[in-house]
Structure 1
Amino acid sequence: MSDAPDNASVRLLGRDRTPFLPDRLWLDGAWVSRADRPARWEEAARADVAVTTQTRGVVPSSSASMPSVVADILDACAVRPGHRVLEIGAGTGYTAALLKDRVGPHGSVASIEVDPEVAARARRNLDAAGVDVEVVCGDGFAGLKRGGPYDRVHVTCAMRHVPTAWLEQCAGGRIAMPWGPAFSTDRVVALDVADGQGVGRFGAVASFMVMRAQRSRAWDAWPEGGETRPVDLGLDWRRLDGPLGGFGEFVVGLLLPGVTHRTSGGDPEDGERVVWLERDGVYASVGFGAGVPTTATGDERLIRDYADAVAWWYDHGRPESAGFGLTVTADGERAHQRVWFGSPHGPAWEH
C-alpha cells in the first residue's frame, strides 16, 4: 500500500511508521491481526493515534505513540545534524529511526530498552529498515555511560523522577521528555542542562506510558473510606469540580506531589460526583454536586490539601501548564526536583 496524504506519520514526521509496527496490534481491547483484518490494522497504523504493541495480560506494556505527540517531543529536543543522542525506551524502533534521520551520517543514536523482547524487536526493525542505531537492553534510568557524553537525551516514557545519570551524561545538552505528577496526564518538558542542573518550562500534552519502575500502584478496588461526613471546604461544587478533566488537573497535580486520583459518579450538574484521592496508601474522598451537600470520607489532611490546591489555582487566575516549569539538580541516584510557577525563582513545590 503506497503512502497517502492521510498517513499521519509521513505527514508529520517524514517517515512511515507502519514498517516498524508488529503484525498484531491491541485495539479496542483485543488483538487485531494484519492478516485477518488488514483494513482495521492499516487504519490504526496510518492514523494519528497511539497503538499498543505489547501487553502483560490485558495491561498495555509497550506502544507506538501518536505521531503528533512524537513530533512535539522531537521538536522540543531540537536535535541537529551531528548530534550524539541517547534515547530512553526503544519501543518499536521508530523514534530511534526518526532521531537518526535528524542527526544524519555524522551523528549517532543509541537506544536503551529495559524489556529484552521489546529491545530485540526494535533492533530487528531498525536493521530491516537499514537504520544505523545501537540498541542496548538495560535500565534506561542509569543512562548509557559508555556512549556519552550526549548532546541530547530523548525520552519515550513518562517520568515522575529524573535520574542524576542523565544530567551527568548530557552535561551542556538538552533532555526532552514527558513529565508529570501522578495526578494527571503528562506534559512535554525540555531541560537545558548546565552545571549539574536542568531547567525547562512545561509545554504540550504528552500521554505516554510511565517508566515501568515509576508507575503508581494500581487501585485494586474502590477504597473503603469510612463514615461519610459533611464538610465545609470554602469552595462550591463548581470550583471543586473545575480542574478535573481539564487543563487545571495538571496544575493541581503539581501542587499535590505523590497524590493520585479517580472520579466516580456522573455530571455534578445533575447529581453527585466523587473525587477519590490517594497518597502513600492513605485514601480520602470528596463528594459534591448541584443541590447536594459537600461530603468527605477518609484522611482529613488529604482532603484539605486537595481543597487548598484547587483554591490556589483559582486565586492565581486558573493558570495553564505553560506558567510552570521544572528544575532538576544532581543529587544522588534521583535528581532533586523542584516545580516552579512563573520563573525558576518563583513559588515552588518539591517533587
Structure 2
Amino acid sequence: MAAAGQDSGRSHQSQAAAEPSEGILKTIMALRGLDISAASTFDFTLPAGSTAWPAPHYGPDSPHPQTAKQSQLTQTKRRQAPSTPTRPGKSRKPMSTPAKKARPAPSRGHGPIPKRDQPLTLLNLPGELRDTIYDVLAIHERLLYPQYRPVHTPGGRKVLRRYPQEPTLALVNRQLRREVLSMFYGFNVFVFRRSEGELLQSFSMTDTVWLTRWHCDCTPALSGYLRNIELRLDAHSREGPLTLTYKLHKTAEGRIDVTHDLADTGYCHCLEDEAVAEMRAHMVGLSDLVRVATVLSRKRKMKLVAFAKRDDDEGGLFKMPTATCLYCRKKHLEHVSAG
C-alpha cells in the first residue's frame, strides 16, 4: 500500500511537471504558426530519483548551496563591542602679542629750540641774481614782431591773440610782473611791420588802428618801459622792393629820438623829413614810444594821401605822381606804403 501510494504521488508529480512543458511548447508552436497534433504528443515520465521541477528555493531539496548563518550571539557581541576612542588633537596655543614698550617721557631739560631758516624763494634772492634770471627768461637776441592773430579756442570761438606773449613768470604776483616786464619791454626791440601772410593782411601792424589797439592792450604802464621800436614800411623802386624803416629810441633821460634810413638809399626823402619834423614838434610831453609811432604813422599817411594815388594792383601802395622830386631833384620811389 505504501509502495502504491508512492507510485501514485510520483505520477501526479510527473503530470504536473509535464503540463508546463507542454504549455510552453504549444506557445512556441503557435508563435511559429504550427499545430501540435495528438500524434506528435508523447508521454514523459521523470526517472526515479530525480527531483520535481521547479525545485524549491530553500530547504534540504534546494539546489542552491547553503551558507551557515551567524549566530545572534555573535552579532550582539559585535554590536556591544566598545568603540575605540578617538585620539584627542593637540590644542593650539593662542598667539601672544608682544607687549608694547612704553615710550619714554620727553625730556624737559633741553635748551631753547633753534629757529629754522625761512624757505628760500625767488623774491628773497638778491636783486643781481634775479636780474640774471630775468635776462634768460625775458630778453631775446632776435627781434620781436608784434602781431594780432585769429585763434580758434577749443570751444570753437574765434578770438584775437596778441603777440609776442609775455613771460609766464609775470603772472605770479605784482612785484614779479613789474620786474619781469620792465626788462621784457625795456631791452627787446619791437618791430611793427606789414603782415606778410595772406590770412594776416587785414591785421597790418603799421596801420594806426592796430597800433592803437596794441598800445591799449599793452597798457600805458607797460608801454612806458619800451626803449626801442622800429616801424617798417614797404616801398617799390625801379630796381626792386625796398623797406623804409623808422627807428624810435628812448634814452635813459626820457628823450625820444626819431630817425629814418631813406636818405641812405639816394631817393627823395622830403616826405619823410617833413613827417619827422612835425612829429618832433608834436611829441613834446610824450614819453610813450607806441603813442609816438601811432602819431607819426597818422601824419605821414595824411601827407601821402594829399598828392599820391592809391594803387590796388600793387597791394594798396601809393604811386608817386612824378618820377623826380620838384624840390631836391632826386628820384622818387614808384610806390610807397602809407602804413
TM bracket, shorter-chain basis? under 0.3
Larger radius of gyration: 2
Higher strand share: 1
Which has the bigger relative contact order, CA under 8 A and spacing at least 6?
1
